[in-house]
Amino acid sequence: MGAEFVALSLPPMLIGTLSAMACALPGNFLLLRRQALISDAISHVVLPGIVVAFLLTGVVATWPMMLGAGGAALIAVLLIEVIRRLGGIEPGAAMGVVFTTMFAGGVLLLELSDTSSVHLDVQHALYGNLESLIWLEAAGWGSLTDPKALQGVPSELPRMAVVLVGMATLTALLWRPLKLSTFDEGFAQTLGLPVRGIGLLLVAMSAIAAVAAFDAVGSIIVIAMFICPPAAARLMTNRLERQVWWSMGFAALSALLGYVLAGYGPIWLGGTHAVSAAGMIATFSGVLLALAAVFGPCRTKG
Amino acid sequence: MMLDATQAIDPEPVDLADSPLALRGLTVAYGDSPAIEAVDATFQPGQMTAIIGPNGAGKSTLLKSALGIVRPVSGRVTCWGRPLSRQRYRIAYVPQRASVDWDFPTRVLDVVLMGLYRQLGLLGRVRARHRDAAMACLSRVGMEGFATRQIGQLSGGQQQRVFLARALAQGADLYLLDEPLAGVDAATEKAIIDVLKSLKSEGRSIVAVHHDLSTVSTYFERVLLLNRHQIAEGPVLTTFTNANLHITYGGRLAATLPGAGS
């Protein structure tokens, strides 16, 4: 059990957990700013970015794809601003127009181009490839301290760890400006805080989390984790500090339990095939939100 | 306070360097429509000034542009004769209550502590003396019993008092308040006015957007009448007249006011 678990289940579980937490962290602030839809938009526009990066370079490699995705996110944010200003449309509608159009464009591009030789398709974009992130070099728990075996760890694991640590450090350093400008932007401005810069930074942080997690876990988890854990956490407490901790717990719980349920749940029920881990993790985060909405201690307003 | 004749005729004897807030040719526009046009005003130090005018006259915009929240198309703002950016630490702002989300997950004491941001900085720890200072501000507005409440659990008047306590924590010399008495109960109105008067007695300056014409002459000693343009500015006694009110409100003001001069 040990060796198999460390090689096959531990890496995807850890990567799923790190991704979920990295997305949920900025999600807390997006939610309170009524900008939760931005995460949805970013995770959709990542697809055309990745396809274009693949068409330009011809390889499925991490860095070109991350750059492509980041570029697409940037273009989307600019387009949303332009449409909002020129068309005088409310931000939600502008976002909806931009991200559906860009996502659809990505799907068309994907179909028109010959990507059949590589593992790049719509399904991959939605579900990610969590189950395939295995660690072949692992021979058991002892491999965790074996430098040679550790070199074979899926690159998504250190990448997501770095992203999460960076995200947490930034949030801790900028806690007060983030909280102040989220609660009362006008007041924050009178203190001389660069509220526009803080808002942009938050979107940039969200984009980095979404792009980094997208490749590993797919857009379903990304979208779910930006919104469900923070929304459930808000129902558990009336203090922002605690809300963030609750959201981290909910994100980790969704990822771990979702993965286990996807792998073993169907077998326990007499089935023979595991179901998509990404789908189960996202569903489980939704179930947690539903439970918090029914039983959470801070459900009622005021 | 008695006003002599020269002050009534020339309401601007104050030196620019003494004025906590001076606006020169301030014009602000949202899109193509101007919100305020070419407003010149020199607010007096150590006085309570009301900004009054009909809905859409640009009262909030005036405050926001004075604070740098809204960027003016043209014009200049000086505080004590210097640019706003050098004097921010001397100014406290109390926004309209409706401008924030009161469902935000935070407690009353945390909101007041936001007023200490300059002292605390990015990472400074909140120590007992900071908490004590915040509690003292809460007591001043009669809200010390609500420190650990979630802000959404307060009544409108209580929320307004918490906002005022946050401004008090800033220890400013100039207080700019946007409709501090709108929709509050009588007890809150009295508590807020008492605090503002005590600030005034300490030599601080107060500028408040005010909507209730019947209380202008009881609460304030100066008034600025605004309807996109500045109609008049000066001591309540000589400026808060029916003639000026009719220019400011146009035909929308039916009766003449008991408090207004002729």
Contact residues, chain A, for B166 at CB < 8 Å? 187
The highest-confidence range among A151-160, B11-20, B167-176, by mean pLDDT, is B167-176
Residue to substitute from A170, A190, A240, A299, interface B, most B β-carbons within 10 A: A190
Q: What is the pLDDT of residues A104-120, one digit of tens each?
A: 998 888 878 765 555 56
pLDDT bin (cut points 50, 70, 90) of residue B13 is low
User: Chain B closest CA to A157's CA: distance in Å?
Assistant: 30
pLDDT, mean of residues B26-50:
92
Q: Which of B62, B69, B159 to mutate to test the interface with A (most CBs of A within 10 A)?
A: B69
| Contact between B122 and A173 using a beta-carbon 8 Å cutoff | yes
Asked if A190 lies within 8 A of B153 by C-beta distance, the reply is no
- Cβ separation of A239 and B110 shorter than 8 Å? yes
The minimal CB distance from A234 to the residues B105, B110, B111 is found for: B105
Q: How far apart are CA A277 and CA A30, in angstroms?
A: 26
User: What integer pLDDT is reported at residue A127 of this predicted model?
Assistant: 76
The whole-angstrom separation of Cα B246 and Cα B240 is 10
| pLDDT tens-place string over residues B60-92 | 999 999 999 999 999 999 999 999 989 999 999
**How much is the average pLDDT of A239-251?**
97
CB-CB: which of A177, A186, A237 is closest to B99? A186
What ipTM was predicted for this assembly? 0.88
Greatest mean pLDDT among A4-8, A295-299, B140-144: B140-144
Asked if pLDDT for residue A68 goes beyond 70, the answer is: yes
| Structure-model confidence comparison of residues A229 and A133, the more confident one | A229
Q: Do B69 and A179 touch (CB under 8 A)?
A: no
Q: Are A16 and A130 in contact (CB under 8 A)?
A: yes
* SS3 of residue B82 by DSSP: strand
Name the pTM for this structure.
0.89
Can you tell me the mean pLDDT for A285-297? 94
Tokens 């709108």 identify what position? B182
Please say if the pLDDT value at position B10 is more than 70: no
Nearest Cβ partner for A191 among B95, B100, B118:
B118
Tell me the pLDDT tens digit for each residue of A77-108.
888 888 888 888 888 888 889 989 998 998 88
Show the CA angle centred on residue A194, arms to residues A193 and A195, nearest 5°.
Answer: 95
- At B8 the pLDDT is 45
- Which residues in B lie closer than 8 A to residue A169 (C-beta atoms)? none
- The yes-or-no verdict on residue B9 having pLDDT over 60 is no
Q: Determine the pLDDT at residue B3.
A: 44
Q: Which residue of chain A is at minimal alpha-carbon distance from B108? A: A239
Give the chain B residue nearest A34 (alpha carbons): B101
Comparing A64 with A102, which gets the higher pLDDT? A102
Residue range B228-246: mean pLDDT, rounded: 92
Share of chain B above pLDDT 70, in %: 90
**Can you give the pLDDT at residue B257?**
58
- How far apart are alpha carbons B228 and A47 in whole angstroms? 49
Does the distance separating the beta carbons of A186 and B69 come in below 8 Å?
yes
Kindly tell me if the per-residue pLDDT of B2 is higher than 50.
Answer: no
Q: Write down the mean pLDDT value for chain B.
A: 90
- Residues B95, A301: C-beta atoms closer than 8 Å: no
Q: Which residue of A has its CA nearest to B68?
A: A190
CA distances for B129 relative to B1, B116, B120, angstroms: 38, 11, 11
Residue A92 is predicted with a pLDDT of 83
pLDDT at B124 over 60: yes
The residue written with tokens 């926001």 in the block is B64
End-to-end CA distance of chain A: 50
Q: How far is B165 from chain A (nearest CA, A)?
A: 13
The closest alpha carbon to A300, from B106, B98, B152, B108, belongs to: B152
pLDDT at A230 over 70: yes
